[in-house]
Amino acid sequence: MADNEQDTRTARGPESPGGTRPRVRWDSSKLQSSYANVCSITSTRDEIVLSFGLNQTWEPGSEEIEIELSNRIIVSPSAAKRMARVLDQVLAQYEARHGPLPADAG
């Protein structure tokens, strides 16, 4: 999506105590996109840390691999669990359209 463009997708948020679900408006005016081909995941009791970057080593058989980290996303364990469920659904849809991915892909 282009810079300064408004994302008009809407979704329903979690149910409030009153039993209604507020509409979610996604504001992507400050959204930045980055490409990553490596993700490292660590955790503490209170957070899951996802560090994204690029593998800078392209020669096969190199003794050292250089990863340039560019982005870090920190989420709560409950948010990480929701993310894992959604990723599972998206990957199932992807495989239904394009065929199975190997279990050790990447």
Q: What is the pLDDT of residue 4?
A: 45
Q: What is the pLDDT of residue 22?
A: 87
Q: Compute the average pLDDT of residues 94-105.
A: 89
Q: What is the pLDDT of residue 28?
A: 95
Q: What is the pLDDT of residue 34?
A: 93
Residue among 9, 12, 70 at smallest CA distance from 40? 70
**Is the pTM above the cut of 0.75?**
no
- Convert the pLDDT of each residue in 73-95 to its tens digit: 999 999 999 999 999 999 999 99
Q: Which residue has the tokens 């490596």?
A: 38
Residue 47 has pLDDT above 80, yes or no: yes
Q: Please, are residues 101 and 90 in contact by the beta-carbon 8 Å criterion?
A: no
